[in-house]
Amino acid sequence: MLSPLAFLGLEASRGTKASGAAALVDGDSGQFPKSPLVIVNGRKPGPKVWLLAGIHGDEIEPMVALQRVFQDVDPEELAGAIVGILITNPAAFWAWERESPLDGKDLDNVFPGDRQGTFSDRLARKLFDAMVGLVSEEDCLVTLEGGGRDVLSARLIEVRGSGDAHEERAMTLAHTLCNPNLRIIVRIEERAGAWATIYGSTITREIARVVPAARLTVEAGGMGLMIEHDIQAHYDAVFNLLKAMGMYPGSPKVPAKEIIEIEENARVFPRRSGFWKRWVDAGAWVKAGDRLAAVLDELGTEIEALVAPFHGIILYIRGFGLVNPLASRQNPRYGVNVGRYAKPS
C-alpha cells in the first residue's frame, strides 16, 4: 500500500483530499496566524504540483482561484498530487499589505530564511525546510500572484531566465498554461542585472538551487477588484498545467489569439508626488512615446508625464490614485512596467 503524503502536519491518503492550517512561525503563545493549506493526493502515482498563493498578502485573486481549484479537482482522476498554500503570508493578508506588518519585509525576498531572524525570516525558513525535502525534479513549483493593493497586473506568466534545461522545460510548460484569459509569457533574466536583485531570493529560486524543478509564476489581478477574468486566468492555468503534465484528464483550454512572448521589459517610475492619472490599463498595447500616466499637483496641474520607452504592452501599472515615492506605505516598485513587443495591435 502506498503511503500517504504528509506536509506541515497535514496528511492525505491516496485518492483523497485533506485541508488544514499550519503555523509557519513558532510563536511564544500561538499568537501568529496560521496558513490554510490543502493536499490533493491522486489515486494514481505521478509528480507533484506545488501551488503557493498569498506570498504577498494583498494579492487576493489567486487565493480565490486556489479555493476553487481545490473544491473542483477530483483526487480519483488525479495522477500525482497537488500541494497548495492558499495564504502563505497570513499576517500580511489580514493587514491587506504586500509585506508583513510585523517586520516590514517582503516574504519573497528573504528565502531560504533564518530560524533566528524576524517574523518573515522564520516563516521563510520553516516553509523552505518543509518543501525542499519533498520536491523532486519531476515536480513543478508555481507561485500565483497579482498586482496587490496598489498595482494592476496584466494576465501573464513569468519564466525565470536561468539559461539552462530547466528554463526550457519551464518555457514549454508556460505555453501549456496559456488559456482564453492568459496569453502573455514574460521571460525574466535572473542571472544578472536589476531583475536578478528583485528575484534573487524567491522561494522557487532557492528551492531550485537544491532540487532543479520547473518553476513558474502566474500574475493576474490587482487592487482587490476580484475581476472574474483574473480569477479564471489562474484557475484555468492550474488545470491546464495538470493536463499538460499528464496528471489530469481532458484537454487544456487554449487562447483564442496568438501567445505573446516578452523577452525584455522596462520600468518607468514617477519621481514626483501627487495625484496619479493613468492613461492606459494593464494589458494595453502602446507605441514608443505614448503617454502612460501623469502626476498632477494639488491644483490639477500636470507636473510629470510618463511615456512608453518602446513599442510593447503594459505588464503592470500603478492603479492607486495617489503617488508619493517617498512614503513608506506606498510600494516604490511601480510606476509602469512595459514589455517590448514588435507587433502592437
Do 226 and 126 have their domain in common? yes
The reply to whether 23 falls in a domain is yes
For residue 84 the three cell numbers come to: 497548495
pLDDT of residue 27: 66
Do 228 and 310 have their domain in common? no
Categorize the per-residue pLDDT at 300 as very low, low, confident or very high, splitting at 50, 70 and 90: very high
**Where residue 314 sits, what CATH number does that domain have?**
2.40.50.100
Q: Distance (Å, rounded) from C-alpha 301 to C-alpha 15?
A: 63
Provide the number of structural domains found in the chain: 2
Do 230 and 126 have their domain in common? yes
For residue 222 the three cell numbers come to: 490587482
Do 306 and 209 have their domain in common? no
The reply to whether 125 falls in a domain is yes
**Widest Cα–Cα separation across the chain:** 73
Do 294 and 193 have their domain in common? no
The reply to whether 145 falls in a domain is yes
The reply to whether 175 falls in a domain is yes
Q: Distance (Å, rounded) from C-alpha 160 to C-alpha 195?
A: 10
Do 285 and 199 have their domain in common? no
Do 121 and 200 have their domain in common? yes
**Where residue 31 sits, what CATH number does that domain have?**
3.40.630.10
pLDDT of residue 92: 96
Q: Distance (Å, rounded) from C-alpha 320 to C-alpha 38?
A: 33
Whether the predicted pLDDT of 28 surpasses 70: no
pLDDT of residue 329: 66
- Of the listed ranges 147-161, 198-212, 217-231, the one predicted with least confidence: 198-212
Q: Which of 212, 244, 276 is the last residue of a domain?
A: 244
Whether the predicted pLDDT of 35 surpasses 80: yes
Whether the predicted model's global pTM rises above the 0.85 cut: yes
Do 147 and 217 have their domain in common? yes
Do 239 and 289 have their domain in common? no
The reply to whether 205 falls in a domain is yes
pLDDT of residue 326: 83
The reply to whether 257 falls in a domain is no
Over range 212-240, report the average pLDDT. 97
Do 282 and 236 have their domain in common? no
The reply to whether 142 falls in a domain is yes
Do 181 and 310 have their domain in common? no
- Of the listed ranges 91-95, 186-190, 298-302, the one predicted with least confidence: 186-190
Categorize the per-residue pLDDT at 343 as very low, low, confident or very high, splitting at 50, 70 and 90: low
Do 90 and 146 have their domain in common? yes
| Residues of the domain holding 302 | 265-340
The 3-state secondary structure of the chain, one letter per residue: CCCCEEECCEEECCCEEEEEEECCCCCCCCCCCCEEEEEEECCEEEEEEEEEECCCCCCHHHHHHHHHHHHHCCCCCCEEEEEEECCCCHHHHHHCCCCCCCCCCCHHHCCCCCCCCCHHHHHHHHHHHHHHCCCCCCCEEEEEECCCCCEEEEEEEEEEECCCHHHHHHHHHHHHHCECCECEEEEEECCCCHHHHHCCCCHHHHHHHHCCCEEEEEEEECCCCCCHHHHHHHHHHHHHHHHHCCCCCCCCCCCCCCCEEECCEEEECCCCCEEEEECCCCCCEECCCCEEEEEECCCCCEEEEEECCCCEEEEEEECCCEECCCCCCCCCCCCEEEEECCCCC
The reply to whether 259 falls in a domain is no
Categorize the per-residue pLDDT at 334 as very low, low, confident or very high, splitting at 50, 70 and 90: confident
